[in-house]
């Protein structure tokens, strides 16, 4: 059977992925007062993120967690503070930032990916050198950065992994955020931020120590900390919903695993993350590998892909064991030792678990 393939883009941004939901919200929101340059009112933005109903259309829940955090994030974007989403890797910082931009400006594509190699030109502007040499410096030869574009249009730019950038870049951000303009000395002009302009930056707590953010920069941001899911049931729900979405997007022809299996995977992640079993009786060493909800989601989607390609389309424990092994161990000898130790200690748990543990141990030998 040939797979149905209506959309050819491998990855769609939130504004394209949820276009019907956004249309329905806009319809319902017609009479509401909207902040300048916002497509939706703050209440409708919250509904887009937290889910509900609008004009007869089901609005899916994008962020699963404390709605107050989402309210703080939305309210921050109405002020002159930028928004900084902080948390462990895989706590939906990028996902929330993308969906907020999609709801507020219908465009989550103005993104800067922060790395150690990010330079000031990436934040401000650069030049098309062929045009620059041919015509000299003028607006046509200027290449605008995502932040420049956002300022000009009164929209939101995203800055991923801000804390990975070197201090000079973080300092350049201070001036952008406080002055709200970018000077172009070559043209003796500047671009001023229009109302609605803001930046949503993300930072991983694991990277925080590398290039510590100065207090001057931190002050320009309102920081919202996104926690790991509180309970097993919350995490199972997130994993189930996101794995379903991803399998649907990539047309993986397999059923979502039974809740009990997903719960076992989530339990393994939580126990390894916390360094002890759920009953707090057995302790384990910690792994270097991040063990976030995002990795648990990829274990489930990986097992579904295995089962779709080489099995019956029903995820079994062998599919899960292979997917767990690939996600958890990568090529790290020490993580592999922690994993085997964990499996040996937890093997006594109860009979329902035995088969999954045995399959996992088999792969380690």
Stretch in the footprint of Mg ion (CB under 5 A) among 91-99, 228-236, 267-275, 312-320: 91-99
Calpha distance 13→158 (Å, rounded): 13
- Binding window for Mg ion (CB under 5 A); candidates: 94-102, 141-149, 191-199, 230-238: 94-102
Please report how close the Cβ of residue 92 comes to Mg ion at its closest, in angstroms. 8
- Shortest Cβ contact with Mg ion: which residue? 94
97 binds Mg ion (CB under 5 A): no
Report residue 205 as tokens.
């707590």
Buried b (16+ CB within 10 A) or exposed e, 265-292: bbbbbbbbbeeebeeeeeebeebebebb
Q: Looking at beta carbons only, is 28 or 160 nearer to Mg ion?
A: 160
- State both tokens at 88: 């462990």
Smallest gap, in angstroms, from Cβ of residue 350 to ligand ADP?
A: 28
Separation of alpha carbons 265 and 269, rounded Å: 6
Contact partner at residue 106 from Mg ion, ligand ADP, none, CB < 5 to 8 Å by partner kind = none
Half-sphere exposure of 209 (CA within 13 A, CB side): 1
CB 102 within 8 A of CB 13: yes
**Which tokens in the block code for residue 347?**
């093997």
- Which stretch in 87-95, 130-138, 142-150, 212-220 sits in contact with Mg ion by CB under 5 A? 87-95
Other C-beta atoms lying within 10 Å of the C-beta of residue 362: 11
- The listed partner (Mg ion, ligand ADP, none) that binds 45, CB under 5 to 8 Å by sort, is none
Rounded to 5 degrees, φ, ψ at 158 are -105, 140
* Segment interacting with Mg ion (CB under 5 A) among 7-15, 67-75, 88-96, 296-304: 88-96
Task: Work out how close the CB of 87 gets to ligand ADP at its nearest, in angstroms, rounded to a whole number.
Answer: 6
Q: Which does 42 bind (CB under 5 to 8 A by kind): Mg ion, ligand ADP, none?
A: none
- Residue 202 CB, shortest distance to ligand ADP, in Å, is 6
Longest dimension (CA), the chain: 76
Q: How far is the CB of 234 from ligand ADP (least distance, A)?
A: 8
Residue 298 near Mg ion by CB under 5 A: no
- Residue 91 in the binding site for Mg ion (CB under 5 A): no
Q: Which is nearer to Mg ion, 111 or 232 (CB)?
A: 111
Q: Is 94 in the site for Mg ion (CB under 5 A)?
A: yes
* Interface with Mg ion in residues 148-177 (CB under 5 A): none
Cβ atoms within 10 Å, residue 16: 15
User: Of the two residues 64 and 102, which places its CB atom closer to ligand ADP in the complex?
Assistant: 64
User: With respect to Mg ion, which residue has the nearer C-beta, 94 or 301?
Assistant: 94
Closest to Mg ion by CB, 94 vs 293, is: 94
Q: Decide whether 296 or 356 has the Cβ nearer to Mg ion.
A: 296
Report the side by side order of strands in the sheet with 156-160.
Answer: 111-113, 156-160, 198-204, 82-87, 221-225
Name the pairing type of β-strands 82-87 and 198-204: parallel
CA distance 358 to 365: 11
Q: Choose from Mg ion, ligand ADP, none: what does 47 bind? Cβ within 5-8 Å by kind.
A: none
Q: Are 164 and 211 in contact (CB under 8 A)?
A: yes
| Residues found near ligand ADP in the complex (CB under 6 A) | 63-65, 87, 89-95, 202, 229, 238, 242, 293-294, 297
35 φ, ψ (degrees, to nearest 5): -60, 155
CA 340 to CA 363: how far, in whole Å? 10
Q: Which is nearer to ligand ADP, 89 or 311 (CB)?
A: 89
Give the one entry of Mg ion, ligand ADP, none that residue 142 binds, where binding means its C-beta sits below a cut-off of 5 to 8 angstroms depending on kind. none
DSSP secondary structure code for residue 2 in this structure: P
Q: Does residue number 240 form part of the binding site for Mg ion (CB under 5 A)?
A: no
| Contact footprint for Mg ion (CB under 5 A) | 94
């Amino acid at each position: 059977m040939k797979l149905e393939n209506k959309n050819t883009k491998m990855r769609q941004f939130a504004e394209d992925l949820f276009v019907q939901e956004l249309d329905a919200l806009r319809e319902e929101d017609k009479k509401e007062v909207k902040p300048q340059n916002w497509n939706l009112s703050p209440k409708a933005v919250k509904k887009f993120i937290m889910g509900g109903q609008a004009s007869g259309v089901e609005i899916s829940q994008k962020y699963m967690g404390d709605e107050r955090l989402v309210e703080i994030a939305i309210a921050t974007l109405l002020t002159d503070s930028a928004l900084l989403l902080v948390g462990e890797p895989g706590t939906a910082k990028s996902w929330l930032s993308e969906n907020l931009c999609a709801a507020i400006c219908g465009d989550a594509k103005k993104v800067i990916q922060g790395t150690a190699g990010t330079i000031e030109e990436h934040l401000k502007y650069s030049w098309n050198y062929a045009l620059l040499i041919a015509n000299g410096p003028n607006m046509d030869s200027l290449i605008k950065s995502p932040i420049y574009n956002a300022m000009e249009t009164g929209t939101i730019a995203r800055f991923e992994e801000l804390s990975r950038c070197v201090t000079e870049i973080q300092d350049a951000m201070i001036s952008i955020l406080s002055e709200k303009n970018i000077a172009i000395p070559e043209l003796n002009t500047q671009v001023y931020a229009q109302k609605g302009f803001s930046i949503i930056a993300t930072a991983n707590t694991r990277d925080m120590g590398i290039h510590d953010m100065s207090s001057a920069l931190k002050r320009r941001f309102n920081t919202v900390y996104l926690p790991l899911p509180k309970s097993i049931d919350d995490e199972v729900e997130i994993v189930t919903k996101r794995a379903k979405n991803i399998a649907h997007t990539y047309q993986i022809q397999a059923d979502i695993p039974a809740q009990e299996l997903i719960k076992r995977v989530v339990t393994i992640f939580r126990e390894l993350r916390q360094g002890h079993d759920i009953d707090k009786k057995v302790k384990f060493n910690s792994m270097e590998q991040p063990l976030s909800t995002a990795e648990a989601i990829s274990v489930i989607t990986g097992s579904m892909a295995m089962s779709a390609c080489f099995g019956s389309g029903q995820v079994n424990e062998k599919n899960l064991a292979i997917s767990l092994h690939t996600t958890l161990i990568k090529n790290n000898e020490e993580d592999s030792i922690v994993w085997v130790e964990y499996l040996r200690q937890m093997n006594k748990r109860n009979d329902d678990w035995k088969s999954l543990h045995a399959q996992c141990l088999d792969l380690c030998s």
